[in-house]
Structures are given as structure tokens and as C-alpha cells.
Amino acid sequence: MSASTALGRGDLPDAWDSGDAAGIDPEHDRRVEELKPAGAGVAAFYDRAARGIAGAPDLAELKERHTRLLGRERGIVTGRLAGLPELSPEERRQSGRALNLIKRWLTELEAARRSALEREQESRSAQGLDVTLPGRKPWIGHRHVLAQIQEELLDLFHGLGYSVYVSPEVESDDYNFGKLNFPPDHPARDAHDTYWVDGGLLLRTHTSPGWVRAMEERQPPLRLVFPGRVFRAEQVDASHMDQFHQVDGLFVDRDVSMADLKATLNTFARSIYGRAVRTRLVPVYFPFVEPGAQLDVACVICDGSGRVRDARCPVCKGGGWIELLGAGMVHPNVFRAVGYDPEAVTGFAFGMGLERIAMMRWGIPEIRLFLENDLRFLNQF
Ligand code: DAH
């Protein structure tokens, strides 16, 4: 190697020798041997350079050593490579090969050492535990407001002797309508905007089909509640959604009367809205009950006055009453449809919407909040 490309151990600090090059490069000794034909100095230079890289104590020092060897401006190897064109073709061939090998190997060594140092640094910081930092509060979820109110209702009815009956969300026309005494083409069906499913099936529009299934399976006396999700093809707005939740109730025995129904509904209303709540039963039509009724409660917001701070109450729209649920005495045709003798048994039923009950209880103005899962809403319950 000529003067301009000559290299020797002396070009690098003695201290670099302490690194263990063979530790990160199993080929190290062979590589030093391979360089010897280019000159003992060159091989010794590479040996020290490789040890220096392997022994760099930290990332900053590694960078410094790398720059000293291969830096674009002042790197020793870079400088020697730049001197190659001044050599004779023979010298150029031999030196060029050695210098390029040195450059490639050192580059590999530097990358290996760097990732080892980075790994060490990461595991050190992972172990570094700062006991003065405030602890992280575990994030504890809770039941959705509708799940809570459903549980509360089932609990209440459990206390009155009812058990839970679960029925399917996908129903046949017959269970959702026919056996509940909706005649074909009767306008009462129009009130249940229905999502139809292939094969004559539909998404249940109410939880009342559960009574039919239960009565077909069991004999009276029956005391059952039917919780679940129901679907209607509604235009969505602040008080309508195309899915919501209901709980129906059914009581069938001998000599069940409207008085039993009334007492049951009042027990329910007091439990949910407080002992002082005023209620009334208003006659309405449902195909599956006769007589049919709706239970109204005095508006919880204006206490039945219809006015809030000299203005019309926004919740009951000034009427003073809120419709809470549907109810009635089970229609004889429904008993016939399930094979019960309407002369032998009587029964009452009721059906309520959970969203509506919750909205009334807490003055929630917007039904969509129940499905949006915004924690700012859910965390209030
Ligand atoms: N199923 C009716 C609806 O969703 C509500 C209803 C009315 C249920 C009267 C009943 C009842 O059990 O007796 O519109």
C-alpha cells in the first residue's frame, strides 16, 4: 500500500483494543487474516478499528468512533478511499479491495453494536421505576344505564313472583302479529313499522310474542316477564330509534282481574318514580288485550302542572301526564291461539319501553344517547 493509502494500528487510540470484536463478529479473526496480503499494517488497523466499534461504551461514543473511521468529511477510511485514484493501477486494485472490505465490515459491526446498545437502553428504562409518580387508577367499567334499569325492573317483578322468559329477536309474522290477534291487513300492524327478514321472518317489533311462546309451552298459572331488544323501521329523531328495549309482563291464572293489573302497575310506578307519584289508566286499543289501557304518570318534570317557570313544560308538552306503558286483560283470541280455554283462565299483560322509563326518570332529552356509548353520558349513571 502506498503512502497515501497506507494504514496502521497507530492511526487509532490504544484504548480501542479493549473491545471484543470476535464477540459480535464470529468472522473477525478470519477477516483480519484476509486483510494481511494487503499489508500487516492494514490488518492491524482493521483489528483495532473493529475492537473500537465493538467496545464503544455507549451510543454517543459509538457515533464518534464511527465518524472517525467512516465519516464523510474526515473519516480515516473515507480519506484513504479518496486517495485511490492517485495510485498505480496495480496498487489501486489491491488497496481498493482491502479498503472496501474494511468499509463494509465496519459498517456491519457498527449497526450490530448500535442495536445492542439501543436494546440495553430500552431495557434499562423499562426497569427504571419511579416510585414518586402518582399511581395509575385502574379503569373500571360499569353496566350500561339500560342494563341497570332492566335489572332493577326484573328485580322488582321477581319480588312479585315473576320469572324471566327469553324469546327470539327474529320472529315469524305469526308470533309477532297473527297469534296476538292482529288480523291480516288490520291497520294496527301499520303502527309497527316492521323490518322484514328473508323467508317471511321479521325483527320483532315488541316483546309481546314472548307470551305466545311461553303459553304454548306451559300451562297456567303463569307469571312471567319478557325483557329484550325490539326493532321498528322508524325515522330516527330525539325520541325515536329503530331499535329499543322493552319488558313485557304476563300474569295468567283463574280469576285475575283488572284490579290486580292496576295494583301491579301502581307498585311498579311507585318503585321507579317514588311513592308520591300519581298515575291513571286510560283506555286505548291494542289487538291482544281487551280492555286495553295505557298507564300515565303525572309528569315528573312539572309535577303534573304542565308548566315550568311560567312556560309550557317541555317534557309533557303542557298536558301534565306522560304515557308510560301499554297494558290490558289478555284477549280471548290470544288464549284460543295458544290452546287455553278463555272461559277457564283470565290474565293481564303489560309492556313498557326501557328508554322511555329512563328518559322520564332522569329527564334525558335524547334517545340516541343510549346507543352512542359516549362515556360522558354513560358515566352519569
Ligand atoms: N306490545 C305493545 C307495543 O309494543 C305494548 C303493550 C301493550 C304490551 C299492551 C302489552 C300490553 O303487554 O298489554 O306497542
DSSP 221-257: -EEEEEEEEEE--PPPBTTB-SEEEEEEEEEEETT--
CB of residue 351 inside a 6 A radius of ligand 1:
yes
- Asked if residue 3 has pLDDT above 60, the reply is no
- Give the C-alpha separation, 204 to 84, whole Å: 87
CB of residue 286 inside a 6 A radius of ligand 1:
yes
Residue 5 — pLDDT band, cuts 50, 70, 90?
Answer: low
pLDDT of residue 365: 82
Which of 208-217, 268-277, 309-318, 360-369 ranks highest by mean pLDDT?
Answer: 208-217
pTM over 0.85: no
Give distance in angstroms: CA of 197 to centre of ligand 1: 22
pLDDT of residue 79: 93
Q: Which of 4, 55, 45 is nearest to 25 (CA)?
A: 55
CB of residue 349 inside a 6 A radius of ligand 1:
yes
Query: Within the chain, how many helices (H) and strands (E) appear?
Result: 14, 12
CB of residue 327 inside a 6 A radius of ligand 1:
yes
First vs last C-alpha separation in the chain = 84
Average pLDDT over residues 187-208: 89
> Using an 8 Å Cβ cutoff, are 291 and 346 in contact?
no
Average pLDDT over residues 196-213: 94
Average pLDDT over residues 19-38: 93
Average pLDDT over residues 155-174: 97
Q: Which of 144, 165, 363 is nearest to 273 (CA)?
A: 363
Lowest mean pLDDT among 30-34, 86-90, 163-167, 225-229: 86-90
> Using an 8 Å Cβ cutoff, are 261 and 202 in contact?
no
For 240-255, letters b (16+ CB in 10 Å) and e give ebebbbbbbbbbbeee
Fill in the amino acid letter for 248. D
At 85-117, the pLDDT tens digits run 998 898 888 889 999 999 999 999 999 999 999
pLDDT of residue 240: 87
Fill in the amino acid letter for 164. V
Give distance in angstroms: CA of 201 to centre of ligand 1: 20
CB of residue 289 inside a 6 A radius of ligand 1:
yes
φ, ψ for residue 170, nearest 5 deg? -100, 120
CB of residue 326 inside a 6 A radius of ligand 1:
yes
Q: Which of 157, 193, 206, 213 to mutate to test the pocket of ligand 1 (most atoms within 8 A of CB)?
A: 206
Fill in the amino acid letter for 85. P
Domains of the chain from N-terminus onward: 3-127 (no CATH), 145-378 (3.30.930.10)
Give long-range contacts, CB 8 A cutoff, 24+ apart: 85-92. 86/2, 86/4, 87/2, 87/4, 87/5, 91/1, 91/2, 91/5
Higher per-residue pLDDT: 9 or 5 = 9
Give distance in angstroms: CA of 139 to centre of ligand 1: 40
Residue 2 — pLDDT band, cuts 50, 70, 90?
Answer: low
pLDDT of residue 375: 92
Q: Which residues contact 286 (CB under 8 A, 6 or more apart)?
A: 188, 292, 326, 328
Give distance in angstroms: CA of 302 to centre of ligand 1: 27
At 167-187, the pLDDT tens digits run 999 999 999 999 999 988 887
Q: Which of 176, 181, 189, 208 to mutate to test the pocket of ligand 1 (most atoms within 8 A of CB)?
A: 208
Atom of ligand 1 nearest to the CA of 192: 14
Atom of ligand 1 nearest to the CA of 208: 1
Q: Write down the mean pLDDT value for the chain.
A: 92
At 136-150, the pLDDT tens digits run 888 888 999 999 999
φ, ψ for residue 368, nearest 5 deg? -65, -20
- Give the C-alpha separation, 328 to 331, whole Å: 8
